Amino acid sequence: MTTKETLTAEAAELGIEIRKSWTNTKISDLIDSQKKVILHQCKQIIETAEKHRNCYFWSSPSSASQRRRAEFSNSYAFSYAGDTYHVTQSLQCTCKNTYFVQDVQKNGKTTTITVIKTVLKKLGA
């Protein structure tokens, strides 16, 4: 059985503010749901990065409408263990080339995708 203090510490690590009136079960459910959200975001970020990392060598779609359909821009933000993470990923197509741009920030400082992989490992995925 986990105590309210350990649950509160784990919730603080995930950026969840706890109210005094909440039961251990409610806190535990919030922690589990927040972990699932962070896990899903981390997996999605890594899958997108792996899929598009060599896109410069891809052939660009032939028509403008196909190029616009292929383009995307995603932005993610989450907190874990007292750190704030912001990730922006976008795919841009020109007539000749395809570009994947990714910006990963931890506490406002630019870093690599490795920090997201580390968070994923810490969460047990």
Indicate if the pLDDT at residue 1 is higher than 60.
no
What is the number of domains present in the chain?
1
Q: Can you tell me the distance from the alpha carbon of 92 to that of 85, in angstroms, rounded to the nearest whole number? A: 23
**Domain range for residue 102?**
4-122
Contact 91, 69 (CB under 8 A): no
Q: Can you tell me the distance from the alpha carbon of 97 to that of 52, in angstroms, rounded to the nearest whole number? A: 13
**pTM score of the predicted model:** 0.79
Using one digit for the tens of pLDDT, what is the confidence trace for 35-81? 888 888 999 999 999 999 888 888 899 999 999 999 999 999 998 88
Rg (CA), the chain: 19
Order of strands, sheet of 83-93, starting from the edge strand that comes earlier in the sequence: 72-80, 83-93, 98-106, 109-111
Contact 120, 39 (CB under 8 A): yes
